[in-house]
Amino acid sequence: MDALTTFAQLLAGGVLTGLVFALVAVGLTLIYGVMDVVNFAHGEFLMLAMYATLGLALLGLGPLLGLPLVVVAMFLFGIIVYRVFVRRLLAGPPEATVFGTFGLLVLLQGFAQSAFSSDFLSVPNPPFSGTIRFGGLAVAQANVVEGCGALILTALLFAFVEYTETGRAMRAVAEDRIAATLMGIDVQRVNGLAFGIGAGCVGAAGALLMLSYPVYPTAGVPFALTAFVVVALGGFGSISGALVGALLVGLLEVFGGFYLSPELKMVPVYLAYLAIVLLRPQGLLGRR
């Protein structure tokens, strides 16, 4: 296996890894952008979505079929969490959202451990378990499906935010909350929708991830951490930024792992974050 093929394989792996991160990050950046809220429980939302997908799969509804249901369920969950909890946090000082969503993280992890135990659970016989081979390269079918899912989700979300009325309202709130209120936009409703949609996105991510990962109470943590970096890198609130940031992170991680060392593969990622945020504080494609 010559160096060029290895490089190409790593490239493919990096892109697919990046797309998986985009899948998780896209919902997060929407919430950031509209509400300036750091949802530290984002990883736990992902974990819940994964458990929900597993549950449906055990009832006979595979991950892809169950995906729409999970998305809807997570959307509703997001709206409820906003109405009952996040709205109150927003009324307090900025720190309140930080440690409030953090409390949510602990609560949800505790809930998962009590309800589901800390066993690793996988979807039995998931679809797309094969390999796609082309030109000397090999990629897992599941990863390709996840990647496509990421692209579709990003495109849908982008279209929503750019071209729909509600999307425009969200951008207005993101840009200037007071002005948006003055223009007659119901900020609370927009916030709730944004939170719900963000949760729905993470629901889609969770469903797709069950094609290749087991779920356990802390399964969301590694994805969430990378997602935070991706979103900051790409620019808070920028959906296209999240995609670009994710791809960058994926490539850095995989190439770092091979040409530097697997143990240190996240170091280039974090260094890149520090560098970009130092030189361009609003992130690659961020607005503020």
Q: How far apart are CA 265 and CA 243, in angstroms?
A: 20
Residues 176-215 that bind other proteins (CB under 8 A): 212-214
Q: Find the shortest distance in angstroms from Cβ 196 to other proteins.
A: 19
Report how far residue 35's alpha carbon sits from residue 80's, in angstroms, rounded to the nearest whole number: 16
- Cβ proximity to other proteins, 79 vs 232, nearer residue: 232
Cβ distance to other proteins smaller for residue 155 or 245: 245
Interaction of residue 151 with other proteins, rule CB under 8 A: no
The residue ranges of DSSP E strands in 92-141, in sequence order, are 131-134, 137-140
Q: Give the contacts of 261 (CB within 8 A, at least 6 positions apart).
A: none
Closest CA to 17 of 274, 201, 267, 269: 269
User: Is residue 150 a contact residue for other proteins (CB under 8 A)?
Assistant: no
Q: Are 210 and 145 contacting, i.e. CB atoms less than 8 angstroms apart?
A: no
- Confirm or reject binding of residue 135 to other proteins (CB under 8 A): no
Q: How far is the CB of 114 from other proteins (least distance, A)?
A: 5
Which residues, in sequence order, are bridge partners of residue 133? 138
Distance CA 88, CA 90 (A): 5
What is the nearest approach in angstroms of other proteins to the Cβ of residue 118?
Answer: 5
Report the residue from 72, 113, 148, 152 that binds other proteins according to the rule CB under 8 A: 113
Task: Give the alpha-carbon dihedral of 225, 238, 252, 272, to 10 degrees.
Answer: -80
Residue 90 in tokens: 């927003």
Of residues 46 and 71, the one with the C-beta less far from other proteins: 46
Q: Binding to other proteins (CB under 8 A): which residues in 252-271?
A: 253-258, 261-267, 270-271
Contact 63, 207 (CB under 8 A): yes
Q: Does 216 bind other proteins (CB under 8 A)?
A: yes
Instruction: In angstroms, give the least distance from the CB of 120 to other proteins.
Output: 5
Query: In the complex, what is the shortest distance from the CB of residue 124 to other proteins, in angstroms, rounded to a whole number?
Result: 7
Contact call for residue 128 and other proteins (CB under 8 A): no
Site for other proteins in 220-259 (CB under 8 A): 221-223, 225-226, 228-229, 232, 236, 253-258
Which residue number, 26 or 104, has a Cβ lying nearer to other proteins? 104
Q: Which of 61, 69, 140, 156 binds other proteins (CB under 8 A)?
A: 140
Site membership for other proteins, residue 34 (CB under 8 A): no
Scan residues 46-105 and list those touching other proteins (CB under 8 A).
Answer: 85, 88-89, 91-96, 98-100, 102-105
Contacts of 212 (CB under 8 A, 6+ apart): 126, 140, 142, 143, 146
Phi, psi of 276 (to 5 degrees): -65, -40
